[in-house]
Structure 1
Amino acid sequence: MTQPASSPPEYPQYPAPPQSPVPPPYPGQQPPSYSGQQPPPYPGEQPPAYPGQQPPSYPGQHSQAPHHPQPPRYPQAAAPPSQPAYPHAATLPAPAPPLSPGDPAHPHHISTDHGRVHIRSQQRRTDSTAVGNLLLHLPNFLCSLFVVGLFSAFFGDLGFLVVLAWLASGALVFHRPTESAIARRLLRLRYPTPQERAKLEPVWHEVTARAGVEGRTYELWVEDSDGLNAVAAAGHIVGVTRFAMNHLPNGELAAVLAHELGHHVGGHAWSSLLGYWYALPGRLAWRVLRGFASIVFKVSRAFSCFGAAFVVLVLGGLALATVSTLYGLPLLVLAVPYALAAVGRRAELRADEHAAALGFAPMLAAVLHKLHQQEQYETAALTARNGGVAPRESSLSKLLSSHPDHYTRLHHLQPYLQPPG
């Protein structure tokens, strides 16, 4: 039976060649979708994977994909065994407890088992600082001599004996009973107890042995204070506070004692006390005149302004006459405190150098750090009492300070802190 001419002849269907697994795009529309099933696979190729569906199983193969072992998972805090373990903060050993001052393992502990002691022929000297101190006290001495001369006029012909007795009184600075009275009454010191002496004397003996000084020449005293301090006074007084004796390693205590010994060896202690002693009559007279002038000025203001002006003119005239008569010498007295403070700062540096030269530079630097911390603590306490307002030190107060600041003293110790060579 023949078919119409309009229908194409039927040909047998052959599979398409495996050219591409992707079906050809359809112009202007989406490719046909398969409802509920996957498209038929192409011969000789793996079927494409579709998300959310499992691929068909094939004969001779497992129904599931082969299982690949995963790498081991380690805790985040610990390192894998193949890597070296590094120490963490939690695994560090606990810090060792601080060493006590009397522990021989302390870095600033020194041995007091010295050998042969060599005593120098010259036990004392008068360095330039002591000489400058005496020269700066000369105006005060002349003013005191003038005051003592006026006072001796009340004794008539025996007045010169009063002046001579005052001049000879300076020798009492080196008189042992007088020194003991000065230590007790003025410096508030006491003799050490047997236990304190057993702690102080070996250290003092080590210091004097290194310096080549006879240690029995000087007397050790103790101040009942909780602050870190020491003092050298008169001709033979060496005092330390109870805190320094009980809370410092013996090396740092030796550095403090060596510093005070430097004041004695250089002549700073006796020259300062001698200058203060001969300036005392002038100081007393100045305080009396200042108090009298203050009383007269207050009384004159009670009457009228003209009375106060009259008192000011009278006192000013007397002061001008005194200055012109003594060739301006009283004006030097106004500058003497600043010059004496500068000499005192230089004396402290000289005493530091003496202690450092004996081998106590690292110990002395540690003591200076502790002194600086003590000053900071006192400043913080004063700030708290003032409602958070920190006290400010004026330029004049710095010029009147008898001790250098912390950084200046450490700067002068640097040559002794550096390793040799």
Structure 2
Amino acid sequence: MLFVPSVETTVSRLMFRVRPPGPDEMNHLRQPWQSVCQAAGVAPGRFVLMVEDSHELNAFAAGGRTVAVTQTSLRLPPKQLEAVLAHELGHHLSGHPTVSILSWWYALPARGAAFLARIAVRFILAVADAFARFGGGTGALVALLLSLVVLTMLAFVGFWLLLIPLTAPLLAWASRIGELRADRTAAELGYGPHLVEVLHRWIAADGRRQESVKARMLATHPSPTDRIHRLHGLRR
């Protein structure tokens, strides 16, 4: 259903809180988008442009045809805005949003299992605390019995729980590869230098934060510095 155009537009507006561009915003978007699509050899009308009411410098591709930019991105110089749009078009041309939808869909059982496990643990702690008021032995016995019940439940959903620590880093790694591939597409369309300028703006706005190893493993985007380095390498 998410690939039906009307459904996709509705879901995008609800999930990502985006909206159709206003007249002035469309005037800013129309020519850059047409230039990017012309460079890529695709029809501009094949995709739907949306705007996110955010002050962050950002954009994203979603579903089968949605390209969204923030209000701040609309204020970029024309060539830099084209570079951002070229990056997002690169996601669509490589099918990355489709893969993201499928990954989200097939990860639902594991997420559901993790949710149930958290609820069960909280329930055990709450009941044990309540029974502890009637005596330490009674509370410990109740907690033990409930733990056995929860362990029995987890035996049925354990397969999905085991997948969580394995799939999360793999999906994040695949997302980072997709970002680099979209950067390459933008560079192949002639927007490499302008995309580098946008990434420098991103660094200036966000700063150079030091992240832990776990955060880097689960990051869905490579660092702007790494992306800049790779874009410079494509020009050699």
Q: How much does 1:329 deviate?
A: 5.8
Correspondence for 1:338:
169
Match of 2:135 in 1: none
State the alpha-carbon separation in 2 of the partners of residues 362 and 403 from structure 1.
19
Q: Which residue of 207, 211, 215 maps to 2:36?
A: 207
**Aligned: 1:231 with 2:60:** yes
Give the distance between the partners of 1:310 and 1:352, measured in 2 at CA.
55
**The one of 211, 217, 234 aligned to 1:399:** 217
Cα deviation for residue 250 of structure 1 reads 0.7
Of stretches 205-214 and 404-413 in structure 1, the one that deviates more from structure 2 is 404-413
TM-score, with structure 2 as normaliser:
0.89
Change (3 A) 1:316 1:410: same
Shift of the alpha carbon at 1:299? 0.7
1:359 aligns with 2:190: yes
Q: Secondary structure of the residue that 1:260 maps to in structure 2? A: helix
User: What is the deviation of 1:285?
Assistant: 5.0
Unaligned runs of 5+ in 1: 1-171, 380-391
- 2:17 is matched with which residue: 178, 188, 196? 188
Q: 2:78 corresponds to which residue?
A: 250
1-side partners of 2:37 and 2:20: how far apart?
20
1:315 maps onto 2:150 in alignment: yes
Residue deviations 1:222-259 (CA, integer Å, cap 9, x gap): 1111110001000010000111112x111100000000
Note the C-alpha offset of 1:216: 0.8
Larger Rg over CA atoms: 1
Asked if the contact 1:301–1:307 (Cα under 8 Å) also holds between the matched residues in 2, the reply is no
Quick one: distance in 1 between partners of 2:101 and 2:205? 27
Gaps (5+ residues) in structure 2?
A: 132-138
- The amino acid across from 1:295 in the alignment is F
Q: Does the C-alpha gap of structure 1 residues 320 and 174 become closer, same or farther in structure 2, counting only changes over 3 Å?
A: closer
Measure, in 1, the Cα distance between the counterparts of 2:113 and 2:166: 18
Q: 1:174 is paired with a residue of what secondary structure?
A: coil
TM-score by length of 1: 0.51
Aligned mates of 1:322, 1:176 — CA distance in 2: 35
State how far apart, in whole Å, the 2-side matches of 1:253 and 1:287 are: 40
The corresponding residue for 1:274 is 102
What residue is the counterpart of 2:134 in the other structure?
none
SS in 1 for 2:119: helix
Runs of 4+ in 1 over 4 A off after TM superposition: none
- SS in structure 1 opposite 2:51? strand
| 1:279 alignment partner AA | A
Cα distance in 2, alignment partners of residues 205 and 276 from structure 1: 31
Identity %: 38
How many Å apart are 1:330 and its aligned residue? 4.3
The alpha-carbon deviation at position 344 of structure 1 amounts to 0.5
**Could you tell me which residue of structure 1 aligns to residue 233 of structure 2?**
415
Cα deviations by residue, 1:127-163 (Å, 9 ceiling, x for unpaired): xxxxxxxxxxxxxxxxxxxxxxxxxxxxxxxxxxxxx
2:42 partner letter: V
- The alignment of Structure 1 onto Structure 2 pairs a total of residues equal to 229
Q: Distance in 2 between matches of 1:257 and 1:363?
A: 11
Query: How far did 1:199 drift?
Result: 1.6
> Which whole-Å CA distance do the structure 2 matches of 1:277 and 1:321 have between them?
20
Q: How does 1:48-197 map to 2 (within 5 A)?
A: 172-197=1-26
Conservation of the 8 A alpha-carbon contact between 1:232 and 1:261: yes
Q: Is residue 2:136 matched to residue 1:301?
A: no
